[in-house]
Structure 1
């Protein structure tokens, strides 16, 4: 079981340290990519891949399975995915506002699955849709950090 920090302490952590997270680059059998429009900061309103933070005392494998469950409503293990590399995401805002920045060290994993968009959880994203890679790369509404997963040979 993962524990969440009290709000004031978590703000201090985000303001002073990088966070480690996993992003899920979900592709269907047609090669399209699942994106959701973010409800929360940072990147609020942008189309983004699902994902989330790794918690203290949580292995990467445990975090992967938890995030797939929370973000996609599926049961998968890290062995079901392909590691695509480490990435860094820098944001000028944070989950609580604009008074400090957010820095993520992100582990990207590609997962192939066909999923019904109507079955996806709505806590972090709304308006899910499948994008063609060329479409997401050309869109001003897709966050640049999501585009990085498909640039420089990461496809």
Structure 2
């Protein structure tokens, strides 16, 4: 584990690589947890976490699947690469956070009351329409369920820069 001050410097200086899980049940509902930590504190968000130094993507996937959902095996569908920019960081100081995220859609049929509470205070199944309309579901989570939404928003930003 990195010393806290070194990790703060890294977060404020470089992008982090993470894995997020778009967790679906057999009724096509989406599992979200209410975050208790920065960034995205107090927002509903998908489970996931950082890839650690010297950890392969495959190792991180297996570790996070176990830590976040208690799973050792599941059906996996890679959804794409996303970027998340936050105006805050885990430390609560003035630094921002930038993630490059590998998103995977997975199936889950477990009991949500047994899920860990280190990152999320509560868990809930959302229908797609409810998720997209809910004001406390984080925009980065919504992007996973809006086809090409992040690409469209980035293109609009580039167009504004050119004009």
What is the TM-score normalised by the length of structure 1? 0.93
Question: Which residue number corresponds to residue 82 of structure 1?
Answer: 77
Deviation at 1:147, TM superposition (A): 0.2
C-alpha separation between the residues in 2 aligned to 1:107 and 1:94?
Answer: 19
Greater Cα offset, 145-154 or 23-32: 145-154
1:1-155 to 2 correspondences below 5 Å: 4-76=1-73, 80-152=75-147
Q: What TM-score results when the alignment is normalised by the length of structure 2? A: 0.88
1:109-145 deviation per Cα after TM superposition (whole angstroms, max 9, x unaligned): 0001112011100100011010001110000010000
Q: Distance in 2 between matches of 1:89 and 1:58?
A: 21
Give, in angstroms, the shift of residue 152 of structure 1: 1.5
Gap runs ≥5 in structure 1: none
Deviating above 3 A after TM superposition, structure 1's stretches of 4 or more consecutive aligned residues are: none
What is the CA distance between 1:153 and its match in structure 2?
Answer: 5.9
In the TM superposition, residue 76 of structure 1 has moved relative to its aligned partner by 2.4
Greater fraction helix: 2
- Aligned partners of 1:23 and 1:52 also within 8 Å: yes
Q: Distance in 1 between matches of 2:109 and 2:87?
A: 34
Larger radius of gyration: 2
CA distance in structure 2 between the partners assigned to 1:153 and 1:63 by the alignment: 26
Is contact 1:92–1:98 with CA below 8 Å preserved after alignment?
no
